[in-house]
Chain A
């Protein structure tokens, strides 16, 4: 059945799809956010769950002039508190390349003498120091994984703040950052802490390795 794009069921499913996409395609040089839900449809599948079909318009916060269209399917499993929704997203067209920015960030972090460590990003006033912006965007991408894994039809998560981040030096080529993220859940209005370890590499992208904490 058709869903009004301005009503919350479509908005919640869209948030899951965008979270998933942010994890897959986001990183220190790209932050994808939802601009608009163009259309939404819901299908109730007996003994399986509720499946949402979405047409979304997204934008990269670092490239606000251009928009990206995508289609998404989000299947919330019946009665399930333990399994994540199944999500499929198809992006139409190309995303702006982040190769240059990724390389610069990678080289900058690799050449640090001391492991990077920071807290409260953004700070109380919404400030993010320019050199921590990629760290913030990487956290935002990682939060997409947590959001995808923990969402139900009765929740809508956003990253509220990076409480703490510590770089962990590795012997291989990946960068590793251990984050404490604060997630804001819209329906209950709770703020939930969540610890994640995130690996990142310019070619391999972001991977959340240890599972999320108590989100």
Chain B
């Protein structure tokens, strides 16, 4: 991040700076907000937005200076702070003093949990406790829109929570989104948190998915594999599976994306408990999977189901367990094309799309093969950024851009489901 300082000297210049506040997608953090002519405006600019901000200022003839070249370096690698809006009167501390103060505040806040979803840091990776706390805050702040459902318990007895976003009705047609089913795919849980906040914001501003929420509900399971996720924080960052132990083996864990009842146990999964694609002793042996199966069946009105993974930058539709094309292949392919185009429009991120079995590999017992066979026509899997340079260890500064672009693709799918109810 860079921190830029602007001192507007005319009404036109002030307006140019104020315009920046409205460009939400730039994710600007105004340390000193625009007030009056002659007063400094300090803006913390994330790297991906730098070019746009500088271009905007230069086009308006507004001069700026770079106060802090690279905020990350001066704070120590890996540290972040909460984007708190800061208003100060006419007294303007020097940049160094500001930083020192922020560091004290960050140290304090790193021991405390953020006080609201406004101060939650979306640009960092979080622990289970922090994410579960975020969910509770989101519900508390938006009780008329958001509720939290417990759909089951994991092997290690962690609650499995789903957020429900609904403006009313009874058992409306619904969209399901899950993130984090493979615990090492950290950008997915982080994106799920961002999605939750985005849904609430859109609804408050009556834009984006607000129109979808008029007729549909959205269900979002952010930490779909909490035991695995906890393990990636404490013991092994690259753990993928659940943490179940089935008799007869010293090895732990079942691949939750091979445990569904669709071509279960066929080619495309492993019967060896010590492998990463072990399908488990029988379908739905994993409570993380069974709880979703039970939920989907008893809800009965889910129209779109999206399971989110990383990495590879792909949008996939059924099947993985058979090379027979899905009956709705053509429509799913067209929707995928539109969704990928929308996703790419934001930052130029390149995605490929197609059926699982042709695009990545044969995989049996997979989530969306089961949901599709249940009659949920719009069943998709995303593989998010990147294509292998960082892989599972995607830099935290890519969380928000990834979530933003993915959301555009998700909206295409949700809108298509809404406009083509069946």
Q: Which residues of B contact A123 (CB under 8 A)?
A: 78, 393
Q: What are the residues of chain B within 8 A of A61 when measuring CB–CB?
A: 389
Q: Tell me whether B78 and A125 are in contact (CB under 8 A).
A: yes
- Given A125-B78, A125-B395, A160-B238, does the pair A6, B354 have CB atoms closer than 8 Å? yes
- Nearest CB to that of A157 among chain B residues? B388
Q: Nearest Cβ in chain A — how far from B421, in angstroms?
A: 30
B125 CB within 8 Å of chain A: yes
Query: Which B347-366 residues have a C-beta within 8 angstroms of A?
Result: 350, 352-354, 358-361
Could you mark each residue 74-115 of chain B with 1 if its beta carbon is under 8 Å from any beta carbon of chain A, else 0? 000110000000000000000000000000000000000000
- A191 within 8 Å of B by Cβ? yes
Q: Judging by beta carbons under 8 Å apart, are A130 and B73 in contact? A: yes
Q: Which residues of A contact B354 (CB under 8 A)?
A: 4, 6-7
In the bound complex, CA of A15 to CA of B387 (Å): 11
Tell whether A44 is near chain B: CB-to-CB under 8 Å. Answer: no
- Whether the pair B389, A126 counts as a contact (CB closer than 8 A) is no
State how many angstroms separate the Cβ of B374 from the closest Cβ of chain A. Answer: 25
Contacting residues of chain A (89-130) with chain B, CB-CB under 8 angstroms: 122-130
Whether A6 lies near B352 (C-beta < 8 A) is: yes
- For A129, give its contact among B77, B240, B275, B393 (CB under 8 Å): B77
Q: Is A36 an interface residue (CB 8 A)?
A: yes
Minimum distance in angstroms from B237 CB to a CB of chain A:
5
Q: Which of A127-164 contact B (CB under 8 A)?
A: 127-130, 140, 158-161
Supposing A36-B350, A124-B125, A191-B238 touch, asked if A8 and B359 sit within 8 A by C-beta, the answer is yes
Cross-chain contact of B361 among A8, A33, A130, A159 (Cβ < 8 A) = A8
Give the residue name and chain of the A residue nearest to B237 (CB). A124
- Rounded to whole angstroms, the CA-CA distance of A189 and B352 in the bound complex is 20
Q: Separation in Å of the A159 CB from the closest CB of chain B?
A: 7
Q: Distance in Å from the Cβ of B329 to the closest Cβ of chain A? A: 14
Tell me if B394 and A126 are in contact (CB < 8 A). Answer: yes
- B255 at interface, CB cutoff 8 A: yes
Specify which chain A residues have a CB less than 8 angstroms from the CB of B396 in the assembled complex: 125-127
Q: Is the CB of A187 within 8 A of B361?
A: yes
Interface flags for B233-275 (1: CB within 8 Å of A; 0: not) read: 1000110100000000000000100000000000000100001
Interface string of A178-209 (1 = CB under 8 A from B): 00001010111111000000000000000000
Residues 1-46 of A at the B interface (beta carbon under 8 Å): 4-8, 15, 31, 33-36
Chain A residues in 8 Å Cβ range of B125: 124-125
Question: In which size bucket is the chain B interface?
Answer: 35 or more
- Which among B77, B124, B389, B393 has the greatest number of chain A C-beta atoms within 10 A? B393
Known: A122-B393, A122-B395, A127-B77. A188 touches B352 (CB 8 A): no
Residues of B within 8 A of A126 (CB): 390, 393-396, 398
Q: Which of A8, A128, A140 contacts B358 (CB 8 A)?
A: A8
B73 and A188 contacting across the interface, CB-CB below 8 Å: no
Select from chain A the residue with minimum beta-carbon distance to B396: A125
Q: Is residue B161 contacting chain A, with contact meaning CB distance below 8 A?
A: no
Contact A186 B77 (CB under 8 A): no
Report Cα–Cα, A35/B361, bound state, in Å: 20
Is B393 a contact partner of A8 (Cβ separation < 8 A)? no
- On whether the beta carbons of B395 and A182 are closer than 8 Å, the reply is no
Are the C-beta atoms of A158 and B388 separated by less than 8 Å?
yes
> Are A160's CB and B360's CB within 8 A?
no
Q: Is the Cβ of B276 less than 8 Å from the Cβ of A182?
A: no
How far is it, in angstroms, between the C-alpha of A192 and the C-alpha of B168 when the chains are bound? 50
Given A127-B77, A186-B360, does the pair A160, B391 have CB atoms closer than 8 Å? Answer: yes
User: Across the interface, which residues of B come within 8 angstroms of A190, CB to CB?
Assistant: 275-276
Residues of chain A lying within 8 A (CB to CB) of residue B359: 6-8
B350 neighbours in A (Cβ, 8 Å): 35-36
With a CB–CB cut-off of 8 A, which chain A residues contact B391? Answer: 158-160, 184
Report the separation of the CA atoms of residues A158 and B388 in the bound assembly, to the nearest whole angstrom: 6
Bound together, the chains give a CA A184 to CA B387 distance in angstroms of: 12
Interchain nearest-CB distance for A27 vs B (Å): 15
Q: Could you tell me the distance in whole angstroms from the C-beta of A182 to the nearest C-beta in chain B?
A: 7
> B270's closest neighbor in chain A, by CB?
A188
| A195, B249: Cα distance in complex, Å | 29
A127 with B78: in contact, given A35-B350, A160-B391 (CB under 8 Å)? yes
Q: How far is the CA of A187 from the CA of B233 in the complex (A)?
A: 25
A186 to B313 Cα, complex, angstroms = 13
Name the residue of chain B whose CB is nearest to the CB of A37: B352
Contacting residue for A127 out of B276, B312, B395, CB 8 A: B395
Taking the closest CB of chain A, its distance from the CB of B361, in whole angstroms, is 5
Contacts of B353 in A (CB 8 A): 6
A118 to B394, CA, bound (A): 19
Residues of A within 8 A of B73 (CB): 130
Instruction: Give Cα distance in the complex from A56 to B398, angstroms.
Output: 25
Which residues of the other chain, B, contact A128 by a CB distance below 8 angstroms? 395
In chain B between 214 and 233, which residues have their CB closer than 8 angstroms to a CB of chain A?
232-233
Q: What is the bound-complex CA distance between A187 and B361, given in angstroms?
A: 7
A125-B125, A126-B396 as given contacts; A161 in contact with B238, CB under 8 Å: yes
Q: Give 5 A-B contacts (CB < 8 Å), ordered by A residue.
A: A124-B233, A125-B78, A125-B125, A158-B388, A191-B276
Known: A124-B232, A189-B240. 20 other contacts (CB 8 A): A6-B353, A7-B358, A7-B359, A8-B361, A35-B350, A123-B78, A123-B393, A124-B125, A124-B393, A125-B78, A125-B124, A125-B393, A126-B395, A127-B395, A129-B77, A130-B73, A184-B391, A186-B360, A188-B277, A189-B255
Listed from nearest, the 8 A-B pairs whose CB atoms lie closest are A126-B395, A158-B388, A189-B276, A6-B352, A122-B393, A126-B393, A124-B237, A127-B78
